[in-house]
Amino acid sequence: MRRKVIAGNWKMNMTPSQAKALIEETKPLVAGKDNCDIIFCVPFVDIYAAKEAAKGSNIKIGAENVHFAQKGAYTGEISAEMLKECGVEYVIVGHSERRQYFGETDETVNLRTKAALEAGMTVLLCLGEVKDERLNGITDEVVSMQTKLALKDITAEQLKNVIIAYEPVWAIGTGLTATPEQADETCGVIRNTIKSLYGEKAAEEIIIQYGGSMNASNAKELLAKENVDGGLIGGASLKAKDFSIIVDAAQ
């Protein structure tokens, strides 16, 4: 039985004081809900305030990206070591918005994944097809290829600290959600890809989340599916009540 992981991706929302307020509001709503891991991935500048606010609770704090180099002339970037020292345990890598708007490629996603793993963080590795790929019937090939490229040279031991977030790009921020069947099927394709790369046990153990307009009303059905081990939640993670309903759905 895989443990469910419910993670919020705040994207470019919340100032440090707003972060503190949202976590204070969420804490009592999710207290004692220990049948799943609860994570907020927050903008870099919110990490300190978020860590402080989450202290002593079951909410863990993650970041939304990490650079692949240890240090150097990469203006505006943040290294794994910097995140580690701030107490960050999780980091999103390869989000479709990074791929779409900031030129991330399968190669940089792989490098960032490696850097985060080497620093001892858990990676929430995002992948998923765009609308045309689904319409053209090549979703399985796309997610399988993205999985393979993102995990290039990552060992079976390191894979234990990888969570995959299947996020169909057409479902992100659109209010369109994959049906539970679509989510289950494509998460299953990703699981099979893991099996071909790392074997049966690794495939059974890896946590695969669904993300894309998951909300308080559709979470339960999505999370009930065999291959869906959690959610990566954008918009609904910015509302304490909605987020806590999704956490409830994972209990």
Q: Is 167 a catalytic residue?
A: yes
Extended beta strands in the chain, E state: 4-9, 36-42, 59-63, 90-93, 122-127, 162-166, 207-211, 230-233
- 119 three-state secondary structure: coil
Provide the mask over 28-47, with x wherever binding to ligand 13P is found by CB under 6 A and - wherever it is not.
--------------------
Can you read off the two tokens belonging to residue 27?
A: 């804490």
Question: Is 214 a binder of ligand 13P (CB under 6 A)?
Answer: yes
Q: Does 233 bind ligand 13P (CB under 6 A)?
A: yes
Distances 60 to 27, 39, 43, 166 between C-alpha atoms, Å: 11, 5, 14, 21
User: Could you say which of 144, 186, 213, 218 contacts ligand 13P (CB under 6 A)?
Assistant: 213
DSSP string spanning 21-44?
A: HHHHHHHHHHTT-TTEEEEEEE-G
Q: Token pair of 14, please? A: 């919340």
Contacting range for ligand 13P; rule: CB under 6 A; set: 21-29, 71-79, 113-121, 227-235: 227-235
- State how far the Cα of 90 lies from the Cα of 124, in Å rounded to an integer: 7
Q: How far is the CB of 59 from ligand 13P (least distance, A)?
A: 17
- Which residue number, 62 or 235, has a Cβ lying nearer to ligand 13P? 235
Q: Does 212 bind ligand 13P (CB under 6 A)?
A: yes
From the list 95, 97, 104, 129, the catalytic residue is 95
CB of 196 to ligand 13P, least distance (A): 26
Task: Tell me the C-alpha to C-alpha distance, in Å, between residue 206 and each of 3, 109, 151, 187, 227.
Answer: 10, 18, 13, 11, 10
Q: Which of residues 151-180 bind ligand 13P (CB under 6 A)?
A: 167, 172-173
Nearest CB to ligand 13P, comparing residues 109 and 236? 236
Residues catalogued as catalytic = 95, 167
Please report, as ranges, the residues that interact with ligand 13P according to CB under 6 A. 9, 95, 167, 172-173, 211-214, 232-236
